[in-house]
Structure 1
Amino acid sequence: MPRLYLIRHGKPAASWGGHDDDPGLDETGQQQAAAARDHLLGLPDGQRPRRVVSSPLARCRETAEPTAKALGVEVEIDSGVGEIPTPVTLAAADRGEWLRQAFQGTWAEIDGDLDYDAWRRQVAAALQDRGDTAIFSHFVAINAVVSLLTGEDRVVSFRPDHTSITVFETDGKTLTLVEKGREASTGVL
């Protein structure tokens, strides 16, 4: 069955909730991106990704680039695997506190103008027909998919480290979680 690799971006040059809302990678993040590439290229021929997809944000695009270059493919940008949307009425400076609150509860309890439980289903749907693909995304989007597939309602049910690789299988219609990626203490909470 085709495999899908959902990879959290490398360490960004600025922390989340900071003044730069789209930071690229710092030096450690660039090293992590190279290590993710090496891991993916080291997979057996039948399991190696053939496509590379990324969130539109710089930290994901920069993490995806070494893998795409090594595979000889372009990075496909897909906002469907992007960061969790902030309520439109929320000031950018308040995003950090909003996220802290959201991370303490369930998908249905997130305060905002969006149905965040439906959003997590949309993230999973953006993945299900992408077999043999490396997808570079975000902490919350990865939690969206893992929590949905494991039946967990908490927003944070898994703490993927930077460039952690979570593996799924897909038949084009459904996703099956094969293996969660590496977890670590994270500055997200």
Structure 2
Amino acid sequence: MSRLYLIRHGKPAATWGEADEDPGLDDAGKAQADAARDYLMSLPEADRPKRVVSSPLRRCRETAMPTAQALGVDLEIDPAVGEIPTPAGLSAQDRPAWLRGVFQGKWKDVEGDLDYEAWRGEIVKALHARGGAAVFSHYVAINAVMSHLDGDERVLVFRPDHASISTLETGGDDLILVERGREASSGVL
């Protein structure tokens, strides 16, 4: 078994539906990225990540970069750990309402032109091959993993705070939750 760290991106400079569809981090988010790096670098050598993987979106890349630099490794971009895809034809302004609906239901009930249960499975599958990595991802993608590990069909089972670090172990076909990261004290951030 090998450790894997699943990390939500730091606080972005903009939220859903605002003008920037791919915002970077604000000052608090940059501090959170540095704190995530510091935590990961403080781990015993045997548990410290050897690779850094990120969603393609800027807020994840910017959160991941301090860790990649500290480890002296290239940042690996993997769309499989990216944000939940928006249904075709849904505007950026309509995405927040769609997401609020998604959070209320189960994976099999998510409306859109994609099989979201299969999307959930692809994220879990991608993590099986990421032992020894720090993986920087998103709120809904992390919930996809946590709901799978819990055997819970609900979309929203965990409220990871910005830069929350959950620890998993992986080896072969097993993916095991060791410890959930810090949860947000309010709703989706």
| TM-score (norm. length: structure 2) | 0.97
Secondary structure class of the residue paired with 1:14: coil
Q: CA offset at residue 89 of structure 1? A: 2.4
Rounded to whole Å, the distance in 1 between the matches of 2:15 and 2:153 is: 26
Partner of 1:18: 18
1:78, CA displacement in angstroms? 0.3
- The residue identity in structure 1 corresponding to 2:64 is A
Tell whether 2:97 aligns with 1:97: yes
Paired residues in the alignment total: 189
Give yes or no for contact 2:8–2:162 (8 Å, CA) kept in 1: yes
For 1:10 and 1:92, locate their aligned partners in 2 and report how far apart those are by CA, in whole Å. 21
Alignment of 1:1-189 (within 5 A): 1-188=1-188
Percent identity over the alignment is 65
Structure 2: how far apart are the matches of 1:20 and 1:156?
A: 25
- Extract unaligned runs of 5+ from structure 1: none
Which one-letter code corresponds to 1:85 in the other structure? P
- CA distance in 1 between counterparts of 2:17 and 2:75 reads 26
Structure 2 letter corresponding to 1:131:
G
Structure 2, unaligned runs of 5 or more: none
- Does the CA-based 8 Å contact 1:55-1:79 persist in structure 2? yes
Once the two structures are TM-superposed, the CA of residue 153 in structure 1 deviates from its matched residue by 1.0
Indicate if the aligned counterparts of 2:120 and 2:144 stay in contact, CA closer than 8 A.
yes
Q: CA RMSD in A?
A: 1.1
What's the CA shift for 1:20? 1.2
Q: Could you report, residue by residue, the CA deviation over 1:59-110 in whole angstroms, capped at 9, with x for unpaired residues?
A: 0000000000000001100000000001112122211111011111111111
Partner Cα separation in structure 2 for residue 35 and residue 54 of structure 1: 17
Letter in 1 for 2:55: S
- Take 1:24 and 1:147, find their aligned partners in 2: how far apart are those partners? 27
